[in-house]
A and B are shown apart, each in its own frame.
Chain A
Amino acid sequence: MLPSAGKETWNASVNEEQHEHLVESNAILLDVLRDQVGTLGVKRGCDMGTCGCCAVLIDGEPRLSCLCLAKEAQGTQIVTVEGLADGHHLHPIQQCFAEAGGSQCGFCTPGFLIVSAALLDENPEPSRDEIKCAIEGNLCRCTGYQQIVDAVEMAASMKRNGAIPPNPTDPKSDPHPLGPDDPSLPPGSSK
């Protein structure tokens, strides 16, 4: 087997859960999160700091995990995309990315969500320009960014108004609905 860097114990809180792993001295945080912690929502796009798909919150600040030595994140509070939702309640930014079309293929989405969530914590009412400046380190190939900016704007307003995204575990449509008191007009009937 290869000579590899010596291993050391690494610990940090990931999504409010304490993790301890034996990692190589030179391990990159992205690799530790994906391969050892198991937070596969953190994506590897370019591995070089351009695409922003690997963004995570380290002590509340969005950082590129692909350019972060794991050891330097030792003992920190890390939040990945998996940690944004409160149980099944989506974070407003997650709800709005879905609703506004901010996510197409979805691969860059975790990075954008992390960066946008941090922006909304810092600035509850960002202008479109401020949003653009916050997401300038993230690359999206599908959306042309417009619907992403829409989504962040929408989430900001949702958050300001204290609206809570619906719980997806609430009962879905009843295939046997109770009879209507006020039945809908069928096609063909007069208006």
Chain B
Amino acid sequence: MALKGLDIFKLTPRTNCKECGNPTCMAFAMKVAQGTAQIEACPHMSADALASLSEATAPPMKALKFGAGDAELALGGETVLFRHDKTFVARNPFAVTITGADADAKLEAAKKVDYERIGEHMKVDAINVEYTGDKAAFVDAVKKAAALGRAVILEVQDVDAAKEALAAVGDAKPILNGATPDNYKEMSDLAKGAGALLGVTGPSLDAIYDTVKALEEADNKDLVIDVGSASVKEAFANAVQIRRAALKDGDRSMGYPTIVNVSKLGGGCPHKETGLASLFTLKYGSIVILSEMSYAQALPLYGLRQNIYTDPQKPMTVEVGNYPINGAGADSACVLTVDFALTYFIIAGEIERSGVPMNLLIPDAGGYSVLTAWAAGKLSAASIAKFIKDADIEGTIKNRDLVMPGKVAVLKGELEESLPGWNIIIGPNEAISLVKFLKERYAS
């Protein structure tokens, strides 16, 4: 388990050769103990020391990748059960499931969701192809799924069908989800041969655990665990217990990402699938598979995922610039707020609700809320004037009305000096009053 820096130091050559990039072996050992350096960075460790150390310093949950090129997705590598303890790292891909029978229509539908939200490209991240007994149709669907340029999951327990499907996707690095207590040896060989992750499934968590142990002994640790679909309660219990065993109890054999197939848990109801996808986004699905992904489902689910995977130490920010709303143009007035994403979204939403065309100006304010940014010196008359100049606002917008957040009314005088020709207007203190404010002032 977790080794102390001194224990690691005893195994180093203690020559302070600096080849690892650290000034002393002691400094290096401390970094390894904290998890900020990898033991392999030292070229002079003995093989024995290396083996015992890499085992002891390995992260509690494997960090894996699947999919190739632009479709590559990161899984696992989580170190905490609650995001406030540090942060979650690998946002859960959302996949949709297809079969040989419905591949064309569902793949076409899967392309529809495609948008940007705070710098993140939202789309169906992966396609799950389920084998239903018709090998030719399955392989055909697998090819079509791979051609879509998304990561692919092969849900198949039949070894022959798995072999053909893997051959069909080439080097797309899929997940082969179908290792059971009965077939895991053959499936493991197939997955290794194709560079695929192997999904382990079974009738119970005990059976899954034994299969994982057997695979680890056969030297395959590129695994993901399917939490099963016997019932919602069991799938949730498995997802939580797997993650908890790995991160709290230090059981490495549970330290793998999970697959949750809510299309098999939702009883055919899209609303229920949405609710279950929400549940497993919080607690602890590494990949969540739905029947389909409509915009109605994507908008809340991708937004939730973006929130939950935000690093608590680094607030979400929007890009600096001008965001015209309600068809605003050069003649529309300006509203200014900060680049903290939550503030931006609330202000943008209120302006949209007002129906008044406004240019929403976002300067660099360090990702803080209005008052915090002001108190930290990140939102000042000078920083706003610099932004107006750098973003060439005066060149692109003719209107000279600038509505400021009411909470920083104190900046008015300085701003009038820094921005000659502008009409500085103090807006409301709270976003909720903005609709009324804008309507009264600008709606003709």
Partners in one complex: no
